[in-house]
Copies of this chain bind each other. A is one copy, B any other.
Amino acid sequence: MTTTDQHAAAPDAEGRAEPDALGVGARLSLHPMTSDFAPLILDALRAARRPGVEVVTDDVSTFLRGDEQDVVAFAQAAIASAAASGAHVVAHLHLSRGCPGEVSCAVDDSTLLRPVVLEPLPRSGQTASAHWALYPLDDGGPDRPGDHMAGILAAIEHARGLGVVSGTEHFVTRLDGDLADVLTAVAQGWLLVGREVRHVVSHATISLNSPSTPARAASGSAAAAR
């Protein structure tokens, strides 16, 4: 559901196009559960700044525009920075690529479905627990129905190979591990499906420093959380 990015800049000689022409980007929301949340959020977004990522923050979430590696690296840096405070932080990451959004999109398959390799993110030493969902918006074509479950299952298998799948919950897959590995699984799964499907979205709710995550829970505190 995007109103802008309706132009499709010509791809370069290798078939690459700019992130805005491909509808690539993310929305990130950071929720430090502390009364001092505002400076923590602003400092985290500031610490994550890097060339190649446009950042637009409003009162609900932050829009990120850049190529896939840069956007995911921004998300890692921002989440890691907020969590470094020690506060319980939950982030919601919404990754999107492809067309159409709210408008039709003229980018052809050879450009839009061009494989994108996401290098594994560097480990941060911070442990995260996530609920992850992936939506291949696969309309199929004139000669074949879509199969949105095929992409979901392939992405989950890929994440299993990375060692971060710790359970299957209603509507989501649970991931646990180093924040870098969790985000790598989410983003690589999204890009895996993006080789086959023109419009792919993923959502992850990512929790750090929760007083109730089993491995961290002190005796008696396991119920005091979410």
Contacts and interface: CB of A to CB of B under 8 A. Distances in A.
B168 A3 contact: yes
Contact of A58 (B57, B152, B226): B226
Contact of A1 (B42, B63, B173): B173
Nearest to A95: B171
A88 B58 CA distance: 15
- Interface footprint category on A: 35 or more
Interface in A79-124: 88, 90, 92, 94, 96, 100-102
A60 interface: yes
A72 to B, nearest CB: 15
A41 B92 CA distance: 17
A130 interface: yes
5 contacts: A1-B133, A59-B226, A61-B226, A96-B171, A138-B146
Closest 7 CB pairs of A and B: A139-B146, A31-B31, A33-B37, A140-B140, A2-B170, A3-B168, A59-B212
